[in-house]
Structure 1
Amino acid sequence: MGRNPMRAAVTLCAAAALAVPLGTASAAPSARPAAQSRQAAEPVVVDCAGQPEVRPGSYILACGDGNSRLVSLHWYRWGSEAAVGRGSNAVNDCDPYCAAGAFRSYPVTVRLDRPTAADGNAGERHFSRITLTYTDGRPDGAPRTVSYPLPG
């Protein structure tokens, strides 16, 4: 390591850190065609991290703070034009404020629809709207049925 062992150690760590992404990038193209063929057949729902999912068991609605999420999702249908399932909407009551609030769960039916081509990849489609229908109770001030645009 010569006259400056700290400099040599830092250089080796930097080289190792650069090598890791290169290994991942070279493996990615071989995995992508299988994902593309699956996604061409079934639209996906895009999560807060921008990752495509099919039939997720949970889904965060409030990406910024996680104070509203769908949990215990069970999908009855996942087709080329719509997906329908049931689960619970866990919503933070933010009482007395969000950091100290409690999550309350409300049963919902969930519908995903309006599949749209992904930007830059016409073969990939994602659902662009989600509709929740509260079946037994609902958060204060919420209508029985509410729709939101989805990321994509």
Structure 2
Amino acid sequence: MEIILLQDVERLGSKDDIVEVKGGFARNFLIPTSKAIVATESAKKVLAENIKQRAHKEAKLKEEATKIAEQIVAKKISIGAKTSTSGKIFGSVNTIQLAEAINKKGFEIDRKQISIPEDSIKEVGTHTAKIKLHKDVVVEIEFKVVAE
């Protein structure tokens, strides 16, 4: 039986895939749990149209993310932290403080979009972080942690 997946199904496929499964699996599990629909001709036409429209929207979002990435790289970001005389930070600097510093520069970045190679930074200096603006646009920025 041919079906169209409405969401990702482990070991079967991802959303909007047309897959062939046994009839009982489709009728007893996938269709009642709203994970799939039967792949009729009309459903396939609707799917093709949805994919075409989504591709246009995705291209626009990717273009916007690329522009934001170029602007973020151009900005110099510094985060103030209380430190000891040896340069160690009391506590740590993590994605929350970095997101706040970036947002003060005029960008809308969520802390969940930011990843720091080490979980938290405990020393003063220059560090790098990756910001995922889009599934295809990941920018690497440098920021400074300075003593207050």
When normalised by structure 2's length, the TM-score is 0.30
More helix by share: 2
Scaled by the length of structure 1, what TM-score is found?
0.29
Relative contact order: is structure 1 or structure 2 higher (C-alpha 8 Å, sep ≥ 6)?
2
Instruction: Please tell me whether Structure 1 or Structure 2 has the larger radius of gyration of its CA atoms.
Output: 2
